[in-house]
Structure 1
């Protein structure tokens, strides 16, 4: 029912020259990129409005992360160190990266804003230190400012051509935006600078997106066990890639096996939970979605999947929760945030049953990202709106990339058939 999140991003940061997986924490990336909130474009406009004053003292303004969370304790420790040494670039980067990690694992984009604030003094200079610039490019990528991120990554690589993290991030940006030739070049550079592990995973991801899921499966099998030094985030990342690829192979049992294994390594990962929830929705298992995401309604990505599951089950709370989700999307629009256009298109189509609006949102989203999930919602909306001609750019893209997916293939076939039928009907005297 719902489109799965966008191209899965590597949690690697700092891979040694011998290709062994580093034990440092992850840096995250695109996309499964469902990030938002106040620091996004539109904040300046919001700041010109009158301050909001709650009518009652018991109104909840914001949920703050619990200090019992080890991730929170980690960045609080790093923040204390940074406060004592505010001009230390290394400490600033460590703190900013910890904020990015937290934003990615929870879906709370406020912490991306914090990361930007930490590195801002260094970004004001004519040539920011490369680690600082890489943090900035990563945040830009997460905000779906792909052109800006690509430009910054190019500048980093001009200064440091062997920067494996920059090549990996660039490869991911190119895949999400559908430039597979550029992604392939980045993967080659990554293999040369980052070692076999990173090169294999990058190449496997690319092949999975270009109709060669069987080859991707064989390649990912070579790195499914990344070694005893690999942190849980890396293991979960590989298992997630295997799950996505198994779906493209039409093997849901294998996909579920990999999803469960990934969640054993990182039980609370926000985007992994959303990915698995979408798989369960496709498998017509909405009750399992409710059980999986119970208690995680603070996350927009999780709450959206709960709404889908409630609607599928006809639960009493479905209407109220759908209204709450609509209000969340309206708040994003008011802030000028368009990071969730794919998800908003899916909500408009599958919950609000507004096919024209869903198609318009999918078309806007297509100008920014072209992952398989973006392909799917675009085709679904075009079919529902009975506008097969509108799907021409996506059908051309499928022909160019040779992407194959059990959910996408029948949609594309139906739209091609409708286009032919309409053309034939229009040609008759």
Structure 2
């Protein structure tokens, strides 16, 4: 039975759910109620369902204590809470009305907030599903996000298996552990509300998986979709460059060939990533007749009307932390750098290691730091693999560490839902 067991392991060379050293046939079959007997995708979906169920309870608790808001009356229903609050209202408007042909401006000529700050793929997808099902936005949009999130965690599992073979060989449970940490992340409630995170996470995981597997044309298609979903395609160009460097180094060592066709295709993929990063701003400028219309619209949400690289970190941090602002910034930078240089990070493949580094640097340069920053970090899912793999042995210490992290994230998630998703201070989630 050894031969079939190894064949079933797939091209990654190991069984994704088997324990270290366990081969099929060496132990009695596990009973059906033992999760280790389930297929990898059943385990992933079970984890995701449990996490989203726990989040649903938190959202219902917050809704029971929610007063009247611009989106709903007191004590909104679950559908209203997940389908209408905060930016969900903008996506709802886009699905119903589309985008204005002109940018709204105030009496001083400053561009005002408008739908152009929000990317079109998610609301247009929901609009199509609404037409097909004849159901309301409040039902279709959160359900679409929930299902997209399920697809995302499946792809995350596969991306870790394919993109971190050395780490998975050391701990075959790492892909599922990564899914657990992503599913319980403090801001993971956005995976079941009418936001774009679920779709963006699915596309990011798909792009990394396809890139690792060297399906370059398919990766290009995914990156173009990502460019119409969230402003996160540009750091993917860095990941493509790291992938190209890794392939060149393998060729120089004599480990594998590097056909000219692949050189051209990978170079073209890098161009596609850059183009995708500027696609929506270009469309906004073309439709409205204002070449920098997207940037001007983004400025309407900022405390200072100027979008400059790394702008905002000084006055925002000073607002929140006063004289301790720079100490807080130094601690945050040190924490992120530590995550990227610990041994668990280097055990990832180059693509999975490069993505969170490039993405976090891009966030620091492109956004004004605020309460939404924690939500954006959901897309940096390889951090979950790094965190889960920090402690490797002994197994008891590894599991104690992992359970502790999960409990901490659940507590922080409850705080996030109560403090930010529930409208109290006015700071957006």
- The answer, yes or no, to whether TM exceeds 0.5 is no
In our comparison, the structure showing a higher alpha carbon Rg is 2
TM-score between the two structures when normalised by the length of structure 2: 0.29
Q: Please report the TM-score for the alignment, with normalisation by the length of structure 1.
A: 0.29
